[in-house]
Structure 1
Amino acid sequence: MSTRMLAPPLEWFDEWQRQTGEAMPDLDAMPSEPALPDLLRTADGEAVAEPLDWAPRRAELRGMVQHWLTGTWPETPPALAAVHCLDQGREEGAVWRHLRLDWAGPRPFAFDLELWIPDGRGPFPVFMTQSNHRRWALLALSRGYIACVYPGADSNDQSGQLAEVYPECDWSKLTRRAWLAGRALDYLLTLPVAAPDCVAITGHSRNGKQSLIAAAMDERFSAVISSSSGSGGAVSWRCSSEFCFQESVEFMTRNATTRDWFHPRLRFFTGREDRLPVDNHALLGLIAPRACLLSDAMTDGCGSMFGVEMSYLAAQPVYGLLGARDALALRWRPGNHETDAEVIQGYLDWCDHAFGRACNDFLEKLFFQAHPLPAMSSETPTPHDPAAPAGERLAWLLGAAPPRGRDAGGGYGKLPDHSAAMVGLGRPPAGVERIALNFGEYVRGELFVPAERHGPLTPVLWMHPFSHSYGPAGAYMVGPQIFHALALQGYAVLTWTQLGCGLRAEEGRDFYRRYPGWSKMGKMVRDAQAAIDLLSQGRLDAAAVTGREALALPDLDASRLTLLGYSLGGLAALLTAAVDPRVAAVAAFCGAVPFRQHRLEPSRGALQRFWQLTDLLPRLGLFAGREADGPVGLEDLLDLIAPRPCLLVAPRHDREIAAEAVIAAAAGDRPGLTLLTPDDYNRFQSDQHRVVLDWLGAAHAPTPTAAP
């Protein structure tokens, strides 16, 4: 039985365990599901094939969501005891009311409500939101909706009293707020002017999470708009692990602001999100067949385009089964976590569409569609020459690369300061300078260097993980960003956004239409080689930057050029080092994929993630079921890199890559290799940064940042 928590101890969590007697579940007895669990398969493994079979499955899912994620709430609503009008007034074409609702619960309780009702006979559709979105409600009023604002926001949260009213419920803060929305709906449905089958609820960020919970648990909500609801909302916990640089289970249950948003049980699954019996995409299944719009920004540090899309795709079969395929929709917007009037008008367009008031187009736009090749049978000839040198076999795996030219790089096309700030690459800390530039095939890069420099600097290329919002910068980190930490220690760190992430999301979406024979990973390796071209020059040649002033780089020692990558970036770094001898050293955290030792759909989802879900290496699809025949193994990459210094960090509890398989692939006499297998899970925070710095110091000492 696995009784060890991977998350560090927390006083509040330990106290909760003492008070409740809650023991850690036996995670070894829970199946590992790297992909989102099938909503149309019961806990006993039975398929749900008919619409009539959905009701019992829905009840099962509802109970699982409450047990593992949200906590329970009162199933029998209290009676509405009294309605008090605290204030009211005439506005232009509407009446406004400030109400106090009294409820006859086990203990009496009350809360306030704001309401705008358009002039006319009705019935009118209803738009519900929280106190801090009051101006959203005014837009809804202008579109002919009854606008209702209930006190379920940080700025006006009247749900806290419910913990004492219903002490038998173990609900979380967001669940209490969602239940409060249901009580507001109880009152609204007593109004003859309110259309009972046209009630929408929406909210942004944490309010988007509670809106999903409200609609999932209360079927009277006709429509829901989830606006940038992020981790615990439209983004599943499986897709917001720490290797995604997102609001992970560990972060959300540790942070003082967020730790009571969900049930404390969630913390048991830190680093083991694949063991969760249910995930947040189940909220979308519970909402089906009612209208549900998932809205997210493409560079929102609180969200993940990949995570939202995976939840959307996982919930589609439920909507299809219930004959409501078009009732679930995605809406992408540029920018970060913010909204504006046009965004909210779009939400109201969706409500009009859902309620039959207008016919609006909400076209599906997907970014992470897989392009798998047909799997080979045992009789199918191997498409590569198994006897060819490892370098040739690796080149085959990376795909048919198009022609490549070279350029000295420059400042034209660099990332503007406002865009850099939006994705966490803006103003660096004291002691660090940022140099924005452009290199290779028009790739925007950021070079971070110490403000005081004495002698040539060791250049490091930072290659980020599956960070679909920001790219190189972690949205939620403990301590400084790695590129800042290294620059403060005397290194020159060049980084850029990988294809398909952040500001390059659309480039990734259209990649295979433009380069059908290549691979996204092949393009990532090419970008890294272009970065090596740039840093190997020392200073840019003015003549090479046609008609423009050269961009001066600091003095660099290209003979010590090092690649550092984490997760996705770790594999890209290893592949780049394997094909490019100019790399002096390489460090890969949680990126040493043991290709031949994994099934393409293993309990640890490494190859599924690198092949299928993100479509990085399509040719791996030819080896489903015969992985041992694949073109290259991890041992080939290590042979190509040796004897250069190479650091592999493979945590014992990495749910993506088996440390045992990495150990097996790295066995034997491998000069230059350092293999670490810490008793930890897949993460890259300040203590992992220390490991990098120690290894770099041994591989080649950094240039001092101060004069002797």
Structure 2
Amino acid sequence: MNRLSISDNKYIGFLFFVLLVFSVSEIYTQNYQKADLPDAMTFLNGKKVKSVNDFLKRKEEIRNLWCDYYIGHFPKEVPKLLSAEVIKTVKHEDGSTRKRIVLTFDTPNKKSFEIAVWEPNTINKTATPLFLTQPRYYQIQWAEEAVKRGYVTCLYPGLDTHHSEDDFSNYQNIWKIFKDEYPDAGWASSLGIQAWLASRTLDYFLDKKNGYAIDTAAVGIAGHSRYGKQSIYAAAFDERFKSVIARSSGTPTATSYRFASRQTFMESVSDSDCPKDWVLDELSDYYGRENELPIEGNSLLAAIAPRHLMLHTALNDGSDPTFGVERSYLNAKKAYQFLGVEHNIQLSYRAGNHNPITEAHTDHMFDFFDMSFGRGTAKREDFPEVLHHDFDWGEWQSKQRKEDMELSKNTSLKEKINWMLGEQPEAIPDVKEYHIIKDEDLPLHAEFRDRWMPGNENLKRVPFAFGDKMQGNIIYVDGLKKYKGTVIWLHPWNYSHGSNESYGVEGTTVYYRLALEGYKVVMYDQFGFGDHLTHAFDFYKKHPHWSLLGRAVSDVSKVLDYLVAGKGISAAPVPKTDASKIYVFGFSYGAMVGLYAAALDNRITGVASFSGFTPMRTDTDAKPTGGIRKYWQWHHVLPKLGLYHNREQEIPYDYDDVIKLIAPRNCLIYSPTRDRFSDIDDLKECIEKIKNTGGTGFQFISPDDVCRFQKDQHEVLIEWLGKL
């Protein structure tokens, strides 16, 4: 059934429809705030899906919301196919027949587009599987594999407006032609229109008069990156696609904007990250308030159920942070479980980054397609579910000792904090075990660290090793007579790239900007992120009485051990550290780590926290921040906080206590008024408690801004450091 149309009996007139959408959008813009994903199996009015009929209605709501907020609405009519003209036929060396066919449709101006069709040499005349993809050069190998496996294969005009291919002339502009054919439709997204073109292509293949005996239960579509988004759109809106593979599709599909955007250095809704042709202009209004979006990609994935879906992503994918992908996948999976087909949705991880596409990846993908369609030898058990962020708090709790669960009376503030962070293992590697891994052998190669490096021949980046199998980089301008100090950069929730900034960079990154200002900068991927992402897998099986936050705070001290006492090695000599001028600064997660580290280690001269916290004792589930649950359950960096769920007032300390331990050393708290992860009123009350004890070294800045760490914030940091 073709879903890429708006039924006349549901909407009376386009103008009324626009007014209705505007009114609904305004209502939920004002009232909808949720830190977690909008549940795929819950209607917008709060009603739960309880029957198959409910689910069908929820699907329709999901599709309409997706059109409202992301791509605009499709034309009311689906134009008929008027003609299909074969303009070129070539017999390929592999025995396949390769054609170019022009399809003409009954649009107002009878517009056409070309497709490339590859027919296998042993075509099944009764039930042939069909594979569609977009003709981007790195996806051609998929078409080759498909035709080799006996699929009729089609390369349709789904090329992105920013791409072009010599062998597929003008395929990137066809969407514009059809957009102009229906100026009143309201569709705005090139990706959405191209998904519609995929459906029009499918019209051709499924009409038997055109000579194909396509198995309607074996129609697949796949795409990488932006083409993965497009493929999901096609399948979500057109039930005739029976299996879809989205490889590294990123936001807003495989991962949501809630768990990407500025707080992770991933893709945001801003125009600088999201090409304007991809989405409605109004989507950028949600910059910094992504938690107000009433629809996210998890629901669109759920709309594909019960059909087959694979999310194929990389562990260090710069568009698909693993944490966000898993939350989307697990929520979408609820629809599959409800329909009794939970194995029809698959999250498949691969090592590496966003690119490249290898032969092994291609084989894996087509094994999934074959399995989906009951072909080949692949079985369901060949696609096991592997999750890296699905934390079972109850299991963790069952492994705790009495002393882990109960805080002793009459303990000092530092003892309370250390109890919360957990018991650190005693084993510490000696100097002989320090080892520096070459850039090319790390998950993140030099290109990620040097991408934004300014053109200064004296700017150096030297790898160093410290602590327990940790590695980072020291950045500085070589030849300076004196450095202003040493600063340690602690990154946000950037699971993919750790300390390396990616989306949203304005000019250069903070580590290079500080180096050019005359500082020696220490940057490293914190444990569980970037180069050290996989090191945190199964952490609590190895260290049930410690915490990931405890490990992160310990690593800061290990960096200090290297800087002050030489406990570590570097790939080349680096400038000496002035122990009286060591500063720590962080953003989001890194800012929280920095505050804890400074409270517990007096070697830190000063700390700057950007969007680092909201008071814990008032951070309940009712808050749009997500409450303390995001720390003990979602990211599971501090499991003991779960002991205080729904009794947050009993948490043994709060951030005013942590910051008081830093006094009288220098401390900057930077918290924007519109930071969706913080309750600004609660935070200001916390600051009032600090002011009398923070000393002259304490500074609080609260601009009218959202949660971000870009050039403006870098300059605030530089100004603050310059006064110390």
2:459 is aligned to 432
The answer as to whether partners of 1:198 and 1:222 remain within 8 angstroms in 2 is yes
Which one-letter code corresponds to 1:632 in the other structure?
Y
- TM-superposed deviation, 1:593: 3.3
Is 1:589 matched with 2:610? Answer: yes
The answer as to whether partners of 2:422 and 2:547 remain within 8 angstroms in 1 is yes
- TM-superposed deviation, 1:408: 5.3
Q: Secondary structure at the match of 1:558?
A: coil
Is 1:281 matched with 2:301? Answer: no
Q: Relative to 1, partners in 2 of residues 1:587 and 1:415: Cα closer, same or farther, differing over 3 Å?
A: farther
The answer as to whether partners of 1:292 and 1:327 remain within 8 angstroms in 2 is yes
The answer as to whether partners of 2:462 and 2:571 remain within 8 angstroms in 1 is no
- TM-superposed deviation, 1:302: 2.2
The answer as to whether partners of 2:83 and 2:105 remain within 8 angstroms in 1 is yes
Q: Relative to 1, partners in 2 of residues 1:604 and 1:409: Cα closer, same or farther, differing over 3 Å?
A: farther
Matches within 5 A, 1:25-44: 25=26, 29-44=30-45
In the alignment, the residues of structure 2 paired with residue 450 and residue 194 of structure 1 have an alpha-carbon distance, to the nearest angstrom, of 64
- TM-superposed deviation, 1:426: 3.4
Q: Relative to 1, partners in 2 of residues 1:386 and 1:76: Cα closer, same or farther, differing over 3 Å?
A: farther
1:248 is aligned to 268
Aligned counterpart for 1:388 among listed residues 411, 427, 450? 411
1:140 is aligned to 146
Q: Relative to 1, partners in 2 of residues 1:142 and 1:673: Cα closer, same or farther, differing over 3 Å?
A: same
- TM-superposed deviation, 1:411: 7.0
Is 1:603 matched with 2:624? Answer: yes
The answer as to whether partners of 2:434 and 2:469 remain within 8 angstroms in 1 is no
- TM-superposed deviation, 1:417: 4.5
2:378 is aligned to 359
The answer as to whether partners of 1:371 and 1:618 remain within 8 angstroms in 2 is no
Q: Secondary structure at the match of 2:363?
A: helix
Aligned counterpart for 2:596 among listed residues 552, 566, 575? 575
In the alignment, the residues of structure 2 paired with residue 411 and residue 375 of structure 1 have an alpha-carbon distance, to the nearest angstrom, of 31
In the alignment, the residues of structure 2 paired with residue 21 and residue 322 of structure 1 have an alpha-carbon distance, to the nearest angstrom, of 30
Q: Secondary structure at the match of 2:105?
A: strand
Aligned residue-pair number: 668
2:9 is aligned to none
- TM-superposed deviation, 1:316: 1.0
- TM-superposed deviation, 1:680: 0.4
- TM-superposed deviation, 1:39: 1.3
Q: Secondary structure at the match of 1:631?
A: coil
- TM-superposed deviation, 1:198: 0.5
2:556 is aligned to 528
In the alignment, the residues of structure 1 paired with residue 632 and residue 228 of structure 2 have an alpha-carbon distance, to the nearest angstrom, of 32
Deviates more, 1:400-409 or 1:649-658: 400-409
The answer as to whether partners of 1:432 and 1:450 remain within 8 angstroms in 2 is yes
1:455 is aligned to 482
Q: Relative to 1, partners in 2 of residues 1:28 and 1:266: Cα closer, same or farther, differing over 3 Å?
A: closer
Deviates more, 1:607-616 or 1:211-220: 607-616
Aligned counterpart for 1:614 among listed residues 611, 631, 635? 635
The answer as to whether partners of 1:410 and 1:439 remain within 8 angstroms in 2 is no
Once the two structures are superposed, residues 3-34 of structure 1 have per-residue CA deviations (whole angstroms, 9 ceiling, x without a partner) of xxxxxxxxxxxxxxxxx997983666322110
- TM-superposed deviation, 1:550: 8.4
Aligned counterpart for 2:256 among listed residues 229, 236, 255? 236
In the alignment, the residues of structure 1 paired with residue 535 and residue 428 of structure 2 have an alpha-carbon distance, to the nearest angstrom, of 19
Is 1:131 matched with 2:135? Answer: yes
- TM-superposed deviation, 1:606: 5.2
Q: Relative to 1, partners in 2 of residues 1:137 and 1:322: Cα closer, same or farther, differing over 3 Å?
A: same
In the alignment, the residues of structure 2 paired with residue 679 and residue 387 of structure 1 have an alpha-carbon distance, to the nearest angstrom, of 41
Aligned counterpart for 1:663 among listed residues 666, 684, 703? 684
- TM-superposed deviation, 1:369: 1.4
Aligned counterpart for 1:100 among listed residues 99, 102, 116? 102
In the alignment, the residues of structure 2 paired with residue 164 and residue 129 of structure 1 have an alpha-carbon distance, to the nearest angstrom, of 24
Which one-letter code corresponds to 2:369 in the other structure?
C
Is 1:160 matched with 2:176? Answer: yes
1:269 is aligned to 286
Q: Secondary structure at the match of 2:70?
A: helix
Deviates more, 1:472-481 or 1:518-527: 472-481
The answer as to whether partners of 1:224 and 1:291 remain within 8 angstroms in 2 is yes
- TM-superposed deviation, 1:561: 0.5
Deviates more, 1:513-522 or 1:365-374: 365-374
Q: Relative to 1, partners in 2 of residues 1:68 and 1:95: Cα closer, same or farther, differing over 3 Å?
A: same
- TM-superposed deviation, 1:113: 0.5
Once the two structures are superposed, residues 181-228 of structure 1 have per-residue CA deviations (whole angstroms, 9 ceiling, x without a partner) of 000111111243321111111111111111101100111100110011
Matches within 5 A, 1:494-533: 494-533=522-561
Is 1:60 matched with 2:61? Answer: yes
Q: Relative to 1, partners in 2 of residues 1:355 and 1:27: Cα closer, same or farther, differing over 3 Å?
A: closer
Once the two structures are superposed, residues 45-83 of structure 1 have per-residue CA deviations (whole angstroms, 9 ceiling, x without a partner) of 111122232111111111111111121112431100011
Aligned counterpart for 1:290 among listed residues 307, 331, 347? 307
Aligned counterpart for 2:194 among listed residues 161, 168, 177? 177
Which one-letter code corresponds to 1:136 in the other structure?
W
Q: Secondary structure at the match of 2:144?
A: helix
Q: Relative to 1, partners in 2 of residues 1:138 and 1:366: Cα closer, same or farther, differing over 3 Å?
A: same
In the alignment, the residues of structure 2 paired with residue 405 and residue 322 of structure 1 have an alpha-carbon distance, to the nearest angstrom, of 50
1:630 is aligned to 651
Q: Secondary structure at the match of 1:283?
A: helix
In the alignment, the residues of structure 1 paired with residue 378 and residue 483 of structure 2 have an alpha-carbon distance, to the nearest angstrom, of 63
- TM-superposed deviation, 1:93: 2.9
Once the two structures are superposed, residues 142-165 of structure 1 have per-residue CA deviations (whole angstroms, 9 ceiling, x without a partner) of 111111100111322211111111
- TM-superposed deviation, 1:592: 2.6
In the alignment, the residues of structure 1 paired with residue 720 and residue 145 of structure 2 have an alpha-carbon distance, to the nearest angstrom, of 57
Q: Secondary structure at the match of 2:533?
A: helix
Once the two structures are superposed, residues 570-611 of structure 1 have per-residue CA deviations (whole angstroms, 9 ceiling, x without a partner) of 000001011111111000101133111211563212523222
Q: Relative to 1, partners in 2 of residues 1:375 and 1:471: Cα closer, same or farther, differing over 3 Å?
A: closer
The answer as to whether partners of 2:221 and 2:231 remain within 8 angstroms in 1 is yes
Structure 2: tracts of 5 or more residues without a match: 1-19, 165-170
In the alignment, the residues of structure 2 paired with residue 600 and residue 616 of structure 1 have an alpha-carbon distance, to the nearest angstrom, of 17
Which one-letter code corresponds to 1:60 in the other structure?
E
- TM-superposed deviation, 1:400: 1.7
In the alignment, the residues of structure 1 paired with residue 483 and residue 396 of structure 2 have an alpha-carbon distance, to the nearest angstrom, of 50
Q: Relative to 1, partners in 2 of residues 1:682 and 1:606: Cα closer, same or farther, differing over 3 Å?
A: farther
Q: Relative to 1, partners in 2 of residues 1:422 and 1:144: Cα closer, same or farther, differing over 3 Å?
A: farther
Which one-letter code corresponds to 1:229 in the other structure?
S
Which one-letter code corresponds to 1:658 in the other structure?
D
- TM-superposed deviation, 1:481: 1.1
In the alignment, the residues of structure 1 paired with residue 447 and residue 530 of structure 2 have an alpha-carbon distance, to the nearest angstrom, of 8
2:16 is aligned to none
Q: Secondary structure at the match of 1:598?
A: coil
In the alignment, the residues of structure 2 paired with residue 303 and residue 415 of structure 1 have an alpha-carbon distance, to the nearest angstrom, of 25
Which one-letter code corresponds to 2:124 in the other structure?
R
Q: Secondary structure at the match of 1:25?
A: helix
- TM-superposed deviation, 1:460: 0.7
1:200 is aligned to 220
Aligned counterpart for 2:333 among listed residues 306, 312, 316? 316
2:712 is aligned to 687
> Identical aligned pairs, as a percentage?
33
2:13 is aligned to none
Matches within 5 A, 1:321-336: 321-336=338-353
Which one-letter code corresponds to 2:713 in the other structure?
Q
In the alignment, the residues of structure 2 paired with residue 490 and residue 107 of structure 1 have an alpha-carbon distance, to the nearest angstrom, of 63
In the alignment, the residues of structure 1 paired with residue 614 and residue 562 of structure 2 have an alpha-carbon distance, to the nearest angstrom, of 28
Once the two structures are superposed, residues 431-467 of structure 1 have per-residue CA deviations (whole angstroms, 9 ceiling, x without a partner) of 4200101110010111111123212551111000000
In the alignment, the residues of structure 1 paired with residue 447 and residue 433 of structure 2 have an alpha-carbon distance, to the nearest angstrom, of 21
In the alignment, the residues of structure 1 paired with residue 144 and residue 128 of structure 2 have an alpha-carbon distance, to the nearest angstrom, of 15
Which one-letter code corresponds to 1:405 in the other structure?
I
- TM-superposed deviation, 1:303: 2.2
1:121 is aligned to 124
Q: Secondary structure at the match of 1:635?
A: helix
The answer as to whether partners of 1:471 and 1:497 remain within 8 angstroms in 2 is yes
